[in-house]
Amino acid sequence: MAPKAQNIPLQSTLGMKYPTYRDLRLKNTDIWLEGKRIDDGAEGLWRIHDDLYDLNDFIDKHPGGAFWLKMTKGTDITEAFEVHHISDSPEKLLPKYWKRKAKTSRNSPFSFKDDGFYRTLKRKVRPLLKDLPKRDSRWSNFYSDIMAFGLFLFGVLATRYIDFYFATICGILMALVTIAGHNYMHRKDNWRMYYPDLSLLQSREFRMFHIFSHHLYTNTIADLEISLHEPIMEFLPKRKSFVHRYLSIIYAPFYWLTLNHIGVIKRILIFLVLKRTSHFGFHDLVSFFPLLVMYVLGEQPFWIAFKMWFTATLVASLYFNLIGFTAAHHHPKIFHDGDKPRPEIPFDWGLGQLDAVMDRFEIDGSHFLILTNFGNHALHHFFPTLDHGQLKYLEPVFQETLKEFNIKLRKTTIPTLMLGMFKQITNADPNSDPPELYLKSQKRN
């Protein structure tokens, strides 16, 4: 029988330490990383598995850009390191920077054994890389850029003709461009990674909480894409008040409608209350660029341009968050920390990913839909640095590896996942079946 959540305090069934600063209401990813520095036993260096490395001299030489190493100094980067490199050359470089063994054991339930699922899959993908056609990434660029152009066009038309339909189209395009921008965030710095700023979703924060936290510790107690929304939306199975359990179904859409704006307000508050700079920079200017263009080319007073732009950003926030929250990770049958885990901890990181994801039949198969709906999600988590349009070429080896490990990727429909997300926020009782049971039988839900 399932244990009742009412009696269970929030804790990780995967054995992870409760993240320091997890429950601070006013926090950003910099504060989260400070907590990680306390929890990870990296002793001011960079931790990979049980070894500590001094990468200070490598930060500016890193072919993937300085950002990743600068941000993660003093933390355990095992998952980030394993997942962001497909070739084996980064691993060969490591001995040059080795300092010493870590004193504590790792605060992670995940392993990366050579014969485990993830490294096996990666080895099979490696030789395919050189033959991946470039035209697919060109198509991704084309789709993203044409949508970005479209949002400016409809923004200007909305202002010029004071037309809320045009403003709505502008907002939908803002949301699609934001999701497409996610395709570019996992790589070396590049200008398309700023596309999410166009909808007020701040690319720097998005890049950090999405990549350093959500992608690596999906649906665990350390997943910021869960804790940042608590207590407004509660995804983990635990004690929940009536308001958070049932009324959140009603207020969730209103929350999504203003979530991107709340992010901006939160940053200003962090600046004013906590006296932290919140890293204001170029990306903030990008956020207001559509407003500027709408005002300059719209030939209307500023407040009309502002009204149209603000309407578009509300539509963008609602659409983006509706897709984001219901895309792949929330359904009572998907593992959430607090549910019964796999019997052996640590277990392969790749299996942990499969436990925490369902893909959607309707999306996968279309390059455009994948790019604009977080499609091919499991493969994207496994190989985040690859263009979304290229993931389809990995499908045969992915299927072959799943078969070899006797597991299946769960796929379902968009309505099932949408409904599943709402079921999950009302769900207070941990799932008592370990996730591997679901992976062995694929049912269309």
Interface residue list for ligand HEM (CB under 6 A): 55, 58, 62-64, 68-69, 72, 77, 80-81, 84-85, 87, 89-90, 93-94, 97, 187-188, 385
Q: Which is nearer to ligand HEM, 71 or 180 (CB)?
A: 71
Q: C-beta of 15: minimal distance to ligand HEM in Å?
A: 23
Q: C-beta of 442: minimal distance to ligand HEM in Å?
A: 32
Give how far Cα 78 sits from Cα of 48, 55, 73, 85, 212, Å: 4, 14, 12, 11, 11
Q: C-beta of 85: minimal distance to ligand HEM in Å?
A: 4
Q: Which is nearer to ligand HEM, 194 or 320 (CB)?
A: 194
Q: Please state, as a whole number, how many other Cβ atoms lie within 10 Å of the Cβ of residue 343.
A: 8
Q: Which is nearer to ligand HEM, 56 or 366 (CB)?
A: 56
Q: Which is nearer to ligand HEM, 45 or 167 (CB)?
A: 45
What is d(CA 236, CA 426) in angstroms, rounded to the nearest whole number?
10
Q: Which is nearer to ligand HEM, 184 or 320 (CB)?
A: 184
Q: Please state, as a whole number, how many other Cβ atoms lie within 10 Å of the Cβ of residue 109.
A: 22
Q: Which is nearer to ligand HEM, 223 or 234 (CB)?
A: 223
The distance from CA 430 to its chain's CA centroid, rounded to whole angstroms, is 23
Q: Which is nearer to ligand HEM, 74 or 430 (CB)?
A: 74
Q: Which is nearer to ligand HEM, 52 or 257 (CB)?
A: 52
Q: C-beta of 114: minimal distance to ligand HEM in Å?
A: 18
Q: 281-306: string of b/e by CB count within 10 Å (b at 16+)? A: eebbebbeebbebbbebbebeeebbe
Nearest to 49 by CA among 102, 122, 128: 102
Residue 287 is encoded by which pair of tokens? 């956020």
- Find the angle CA(7)-CA(11)-CA(13) to the nearest 5 degrees: 100
Q: Please tell me whether residue 412 adopts helix, strand or coil conformation.
A: strand
Q: C-beta of 60: minimal distance to ligand HEM in Å?
A: 12
**Residue nearest to ligand HEM according to CB distances in the complex:** 64
Q: C-beta of 88: minimal distance to ligand HEM in Å?
A: 8
Q: C-beta of 368: minimal distance to ligand HEM in Å?
A: 22
Q: C-beta of 128: minimal distance to ligand HEM in Å?
A: 14
What is d(CA 314, CA 310) in angstroms, rounded to the nearest whole number?
6
Beta strands in 296-360 (DSSP E): 347-348, 359-360
Q: Which is nearer to ligand HEM, 187 or 411 (CB)?
A: 187
> Hey, what amino acid is at 236?
L
Give how far Cα 399 sits from Cα of 336, 378, 386, 404, 407, Å: 24, 12, 18, 9, 9
Q: Which is nearer to ligand HEM, 212 or 438 (CB)?
A: 212
Q: C-beta of 193: minimal distance to ligand HEM in Å?
A: 11
What is d(CA 434, CA 343) in angstroms, rounded to the nearest whole number?
7
Residue 59 is encoded by which pair of tokens? 């930060």
Burial class (CB in 10 A: 0-12, 13-18, 19+), 254: exposed
CB 75 within 8 A of CB 40: yes
Q: C-beta of 208: minimal distance to ligand HEM in Å?
A: 11
